[in-house]
Amino acid sequence: GAVVSQHPSWVICKSGTSVKIECRSLDFQATTMFWYRQFPKQSLMLMATSNEGSKATYEQGVEKDKFLINHASLTLSTLTVTSAHPEDSSFYICSARAQTGVADTQYFGPGTRLTVL
Amino acid sequence: AQRVTQPEKLLSVFKGAPVELKCNYSYSGSPELFWYVQYSRQRLQLLLRHISRESIKGFTADLNKGETSFHLKKPFAQEEDSAMYYCALSGPGGDTGGFKTIFGAGTRLFVKA
């Protein structure tokens, strides 16, 4: 089946530094990838939709300059949290959209836990 | 506005009892509805989708467009069903364009022995 990986699985950084999270579709090509953020005991909140070869589409309230998304290839999207602050600490999850049969299916990565000190 | 509502944060039932996890949605158009499940320490995974009209692990969900609901049901709950369940809606993204999926707040199902 389709597998999505994320790296790293967890990261701790100092306030003011930047952190890059990678999302890869391992055995399929994904023209569209999504980035979500999940706070403890809360649901997934869509941050942005990443389309290969074009600019990401951000949801309202998500700072484009803070959360840089690059989708350079059909199997890789990256999320860079720039000048991270403690309030950016969260669980970040990516998903990739694949066509399975007659319908599209989203496959989710395992998530990356970011802790900003 | 696009919205998915799961009114129950926690649902606790005994093994063998019927279970229904509620989901209501708001969407101007014809969305695709899903149920995702997240077992302890595992990633989110698709449970079922309305267009498939299938039963997965004994779970079914019927899309009721009149009531804008997509409740998840299982006649006899099992302990291994204990997990976090998310109702989700996919469709064109409205103001931001494109295609996107939004999630409800989730319902934690706890099946007691």
Mean pLDDT calculated for residue range B87-98? 70
CB proximity B7 to A under 8 Å: no
Which amino acid is present at B51?
I
Please identify which residue in the block is written with the tokens 């989110």.
Answer: B44
How do strand A10-13 and strand A112-116 relate by DSSP bridges? parallel
Using the beta-carbon criterion (under 8 Å), do B93 and A106 form an inter-chain contact? Answer: no
> What is d(CA B18, CA A60) in angstroms, rounded to the nearest whole number?
39
Mean pLDDT calculated for residue range B5-32? 93
Using the beta-carbon criterion (under 8 Å), do A58 and B96 form an inter-chain contact? Answer: yes
Q: What pLDDT shows up at residue A101?
A: 60
CB proximity B101 to A under 8 Å: yes
DSSP SS3 for B94: helix
For the cut 60, the answer to whether the pLDDT of residue B94 exceeds it is no
CB proximity A82 to B under 8 Å: no
Q: What pLDDT shows up at residue A73?
A: 87
Q: What pLDDT shows up at residue B52?
A: 81
For A63, residues 6+ apart whose C-beta sits below 8 A from its C-beta are none
Least Cα separation, residue A7 to chain B (angstroms): 14
Q: What pLDDT shows up at residue A32?
A: 87
For the cut 70, the answer to whether the pLDDT of residue B96 exceeds it is no
A36 within 8 A of B43, measured Cβ to Cβ: no
Q: What pLDDT shows up at residue A104?
A: 74
DSSP SS3 for A80: strand
Minimal-distance CA residue of chain B relative to A101: B52
Residues in B closer than 8 angstroms to A57, CB to CB, are 93, 96-98
Q: What pLDDT shows up at residue A102?
A: 55
DSSP SS3 for A88: helix
Which stretch of A47-51, B17-21, B107-111 has the lowest confidence by average pLDDT?
A47-51
**Which residues in chain A show pLDDT less than 70?**
1, 99-103
DSSP SS3 for B81: helix
Q: What pLDDT shows up at residue B30?
A: 80
DSSP SS3 for A13: strand
CA nearest to A91, candidates A50, A41, A32: A41
Q: Which residues pair with B37 in a beta bridge?
A: B45, B85
> What is d(CA A55, CA A84) in angstroms, rounded to the nearest whole number?
22
Minimal-distance CA residue of chain B relative to A60: B96
CB proximity B71 to A under 8 Å: no
Nearest to A111 among B43, B90, B98 (CB): B43
Using the beta-carbon criterion (under 8 Å), do A44 and B86 form an inter-chain contact? Answer: yes
Tens-digit pLDDT profile for residues B54-90: 888 999 998 998 999 999 999 999 999 999 999 999 8
Nearest to B43 among A59, A104, A108 (CB): A108
